[in-house]
Amino acid sequence: MTRWTVRTPDPELVRRVAGRCNLHEVAAGFLVSRGHEDPEAAEEHLRAAPKGLHDPFLLPDMRAACQRLERAIADGENILIHGDYDVDGVTGTSLLVRMLRLVGANVLWHIPNRLVDGYSFGPHSVDRARETNSTVVISVDNGTSAAETIADLKAAGVDTIVTDHHEPPDGPLPDAVAIINPKLADSTYPWRELCGGAVAFKLAWGLATHLSPDGTSSEAMKTFLEEACAYVAIATVCDVVPLLDENRIFARFGLRALAATKNPGLAAMLDICGLRGRALGAEDVGFQIGPRINASGRLGSAQSAVELLLAETDEEARAYAKKLDDLNGERKDIERGVLDSAVAEVEANFMSREEHPVLVIAGQGWHQGVVGIVAARLVDRYHRPAIVIGLDGEEGRGSARSIEGFSVLEAMKGGAAHMLKFGGHEQAAGCEVRADTIAALRSAVCERARELFEVLGQKEAELTLDAELALAEVTPALMSQLDQLEPFGEQNEKPQFVSSALRLARPAVVLGADQRHLRLDVRSGSTVMKAMAFGMADRKDELAMGKDLRLVFTPRWNYWRGDRSLELLVADFSVE
Ligand SMILES: [Mn+2]
C-alpha cells in the first residue's frame, strides 16, 4: 500500500511567488514546495535564461587546456577525443569533435568497447593514441581517477586534458595538462553538479572564446553552440543530474533547440522516435532518445551513436538512426529475457522481505549491458534495492539500484569480502564477483541491509502530491502553466495531483501488446477525461462502475496524428 501525502506550501509564500512570476497558484505552489521560496530566485529558476550560464573560465585549468589546444591546432598535432560509451560520453565526444573541426584542428575520436575495454581509460587508450599518432588526448566524462593510464600516455609523449564530473579519488590526481572538473577540491566553480557532456561543452565554449574573443558570434559557431546545447540537454537528462541552476538552463534551452534542430543526426533521431514537430519534455529524452543513443554502447560499441551525431547529410543520419533503433529493439529483447529470468528467480526463492531486504540475483549469460536496467525494474516491482549480476563462467559483473533514501552502496560494504571490486553511489553501484561467492555475498549484504533498515525504519512506498484538484480544473490553461515548470526530472519532480469522488465513465479496458496497461475514462459532473494507468492491468478488478474513485495523476498532452489531447497519467488510485 502506498502512502499519499499532499504538500502544503505556505500560502503567503505561494502568493508572493505567484505575483512575482505571474503564475497560477498551482504552479507557484509547485515552486515553493520544491524550495524556491524567494520570489526573485524563483523567477530566475523559472525563466532559466542562457545568460545565467556560468563563465567557462571559472572551471579549474580551463586556461591551461585552451593554451595547449591552441598550440596543438597551430602545429597541426593530432588530437584524440576519448569519451565514455554512455549518452554523457557520446554527446560530449561528438560536440568536441565538431568544435575542433570547426576551428581547423586534426581531430580523431575513441570510445572504449564496453565488453572488451571496460569503462574509462586503460591500455586501449594508449594503443589508440599511438595508432592515431595523437599527441593530445581530451577525455570526456572520465579521467579524474585515471592516474596510471595518463602517466603511461605521458611516457609515450602524449599530453592529456581531462574533462570530467566524477568525484576525485582519495589518492593523487593524474599528471595531466589540465583537469577540468567542477568537483575538484580546489574548484571555485559556482555549480558542482554538471554532467560530463556539459563539462565538455564548457571546454568547447571556453576554447571558442580563447581562440577569438568575439569568435563565438560567427554564424557557424553560433549554430554549433546551439546544437551543442541540444546535445548537452540530452546528456543532462540522461545522466540524471539535478535540474537546477545551470542544468535547468541547459535542459530547458537545449530541449527547445533540439525541437527546432536542423542538425541531420538530431533530426533523424527525432523522426525515428516520432517526436518531430512538437515541444519536447525530459521524458521524451529519457524514454525515447536516450535509450537509442545508449543502445549501441550497451551492446558493445558506441560508434554508431557518435557517427549519428557527427553525420553531415540526412541520408547518412537516417542510416545511423535506423541502426540505433534496431539495436535498441535488440537491447529490449535481451532485457526482457533477463528480466523474466530474474523475476522467476525472485518469485521462486526470494519473496521474503525480512530474509532478503536487498535482492541479490545472478544468472549465467545475463548480458552486462542490461543488468543495470533490470535491477531498476526489480526495484520498481518489489520496492526493494536490487543487485543483478550477469555471470560469464566463473566470474560476473553486477549492477545495483536502490529505493529512495536507502544507500545500496552501504549495504554492499557489508559484503565487501565477497566481491573482487565494487563502487558507486547511494542509488546506483556496480561490482565484480566470483560465481562461487554469490550466496555468501547475498547473506552478508542482506544482514547489513537489515541493520540499515532498522535505523531507517521500514520504508513504505510514498507518493508526494502537489495539490487536490477538481477534474474540471485540469485544462489547457493549467497545462500552459505547468509547461513553464518543465523540464521535469531529478530535483524538479513532475507535479502529481489527486482528484476525488470520480466515477468510471465506462468500464476500464486492458491495453498493450503484453496486456499490462489500463485505460480508464473518468467522470466528475459533466467533465470526462481519459486516464492511462501503465503497468496496472493487474488492478483492474479493484475498479467497478458506480464506485467513488480517487486518482493520483499527472496531466499530459497526448499526441496523435498531429492532434493533441489532454489525458491523465495515473500513478495510483484507490476505490472508496
Ligand atoms: Mn557521466
Rounded distance from Cα 415 to ligand 1 centre (Å): 26
Total residues found in the chain within this entry? 576
Tally the C-alpha atoms within 13 A of residue 6's C-alpha that lie toward its C-beta: 12
Rounded distance from Cα 194 to ligand 1 centre (Å): 9
Which residues neighbour 99 within 8 Å (Cβ) at sequence distance 6 or greater? 204, 207, 208, 224, 228
Rounded distance from Cα 562 to ligand 1 centre (Å): 35
Rounded distance from Cα 53 to ligand 1 centre (Å): 19
Rounded distance from Cα 167 to ligand 1 centre (Å): 11
How far is 488 from 442, CA to CA, in rounded Å? 36
Rounded distance from Cα 263 to ligand 1 centre (Å): 23
How far is 48 from 67, CA to CA, in rounded Å? 31
Rounded distance from Cα 331 to ligand 1 centre (Å): 21
How far is 549 from 564, CA to CA, in rounded Å? 26
* Cβ contact 79:110 at 8 Å: no
Backbone angles phi, psi at 62, to 5 degrees: -60, -40
Give the strand order in the sheet containing 386-392: 359-364, 386-392, 395-401, 428-434, 421-424
DSSP 533: E
The count of other CB atoms within 10 Å of the CB of residue 503 is: 16
Rounded distance from Cα 99 to ligand 1 centre (Å): 20
Nearest Cα neighbor of 272 from 355, 328, 216 is 328
Nearest Cα neighbor of 91 from 218, 253, 208, 199 is 199
Buried residues in 111-149 as b, exposed as e (16+ CB within 10 A): bbebeebeebbbebbbebbeebebbbbbbbbbbbbbbeb
- Enter the C-alpha cell of residue 459: 520504508
546: left (phi over 0), alpha (psi -120 to 50) or beta: left
Q: In which element (H, E) is residue 348 found?
A: helix 314-349
Q: For the packed helices 62-74 and 196-211, what is the interaxial angle rounded to 10 degrees?
A: 60
pLDDT of the residue at 115: 79
Partners of residue 139 on adjacent β-strands: 82, 162
- Radius of gyration over every alpha carbon of the chain, rounded to an integer in angstroms: 25
Rounded distance from Cα 89 to ligand 1 centre (Å): 7
| Structural domains of the chain ordered from first start | 52-325 (3.90.1640.30), 350-456 (3.10.310.30), 463-575 (2.40.50.460)
How far is 332 from 323, CA to CA, in rounded Å? 14
* Cβ contact 122:181 at 8 Å: no
How far is 131 from 471, CA to CA, in rounded Å? 64
Partners of residue 555 on adjacent β-strands: 568
How far is 33 from 48, CA to CA, in rounded Å? 18
Per-residue pLDDT of the chain (576 residues; tens, 9 = 90+): 688 999 999 999 999 999 999 999 999 999 999 999 999 999 999 999 989 999 999 999 999 999 999 999 999 999 999 999 999 999 999 999 999 999 999 999 999 988 778 778 999 999 999 999 999 999 999 999 999 999 999 999 999 999 999 999 988 999 999 999 999 999 999 999 999 999 999 999 999 999 987 766 688 888 899 899 999 999 999 998 999 999 999 999 999 999 999 999 999 999 999 999 888 999 999 999 999 999 998 887 889 999 999 999 999 999 999 999 999 999 999 999 999 999 999 999 999 999 999 999 999 999 988 999 999 999 988 989 999 999 999 999 999 999 988 999 999 999 999 999 998 888 899 999 999 999 999 999 999 999 999 888 765 678 899 999 999 999 999 999 999 999 999 899 999 999 999 999 999 999 988 788 999 999 999 999 999 999 899 899 999 888 999 999 999 999 888 789 999 999 999 998
Asked, as a colleague might, if the bond just before 487 is cis with ω within 30 of 0, I would say yes
Rounded distance from Cα 234 to ligand 1 centre (Å): 12
Nearest Cα neighbor of 305 from 325, 286, 288 is 325
- Enter the C-alpha cell of residue 62: 580551463
Partners of residue 551 on adjacent β-strands: 499, 573
Rounded distance from Cα 353 to ligand 1 centre (Å): 33
Rounded distance from Cα 423 to ligand 1 centre (Å): 15
Rounded distance from Cα 410 to ligand 1 centre (Å): 22
- Enter the C-alpha cell of residue 191: 555549480
Rounded distance from Cα 199 to ligand 1 centre (Å): 10
Question: What is the distance, to the nearest Å, from the Cα of residue 113 to the centroid of all Cα atoms in its chain?
Answer: 21
* Cβ contact 257:223 at 8 Å: no
